[in-house]
Amino acid sequence: MTGLIIEGGARRGIFTAGITDCLLENKIHFDYVAGVSAGAEVALDFTAKQEGRSRSVIMPHRTGDFSVLGFLSMDLDNMIYRFPYQDYPFDFDTFFASDTNCEFVATDCVTGKAKYFSENKSEQRLLDSVRASCTVPILYQISEFEGGKYVDGSIADAVPFDRAFEQGCSRVLVLLTKPENEPCTDYRKFEFLINKKYKDYPNLINALMTRFDRYNEQCKRMKQLEEDGILMVLRPSHKYVKSFEMNTDVLDEAYNAGKNLAKEKLAEIEDFLNVLEKK
């Protein structure tokens, strides 16, 4: 089995959208796909084989006086619940018919642990799962569904390659949105606000306070797994975009950089996975 892991990062996800569009163009298939936060949107579209949709969704949009995914005006509900039916129709039929096991990672507020959602029948539950994965702490209210309360999956499991191996994968391709050695968000800087906002969820607070160190540990383990030959990482060479970038030219540059990187590495990717979907 082969696995694809897609990291989040708000609008930085446009870099991974470029990579996945190249993979779709070349009919690269994966048995397992996991997306985290913005990576959940990219995973959704990749599994549905909708080339170009993630790029369109991630780009800035105007909805009244607000910018979808714009800083401090992120209209997540429009992106998750309106776009699939109106602005950028989502192919639910192809997604549900896929033989790829696609999971979306969220963080359980009560346990502070990762929750992995998959769905192959219900449109509403599928979109609710993506929303839970994309619920950035502090910026958004907690996502509630099926009796649970969730925030962004990157808090508990930012790069879920271990989950891929647990699901039976022997080779895993990881798509990152940050260049090597760039630190992840350190939520300890917001400790006062977090303690106040999430006072009823001590395990979530602990997950937020330890996230920086756990992410660094994941990065160290990825390097070892790369050396072992069972994991391959694609990442940007430098910081193309900010998490809440509004400049479409800059976003286009990042998208094209991701696509070009995948083209350059295509033979290596195919050799690593040793699998190419029959045309």
Catalytically active residues, by annotation: 37, 152
* Dist. CA 26–CA 242, nearest whole Å: 29
- 116 vs 19, 113, 274, CA distance in Å? 23, 10, 27
**Interhelix angle for 123-133 vs 38-47, to 10°?**
140
* Dist. CA 228–CA 225, nearest whole Å: 5
Nearest to 37 by CA among 79, 66, 90: 79
Nearest to 45 by CA among 126, 157, 121: 126
* Dist. CA 187–CA 165, nearest whole Å: 28
* Dist. CA 185–CA 183, nearest whole Å: 7
Residues, the chain, total?
Answer: 279
Give the strand pairing for 66-68 and 61-63: antiparallel
* Dist. CA 34–CA 161, nearest whole Å: 9
Can you list the alpha helix ranges (DSSP code H) found in the chain? Answer: 13-25, 38-47, 53-58, 76-77, 92-97, 123-133, 154-157, 161-166, 191-197, 202-228, 248-264, 266-273
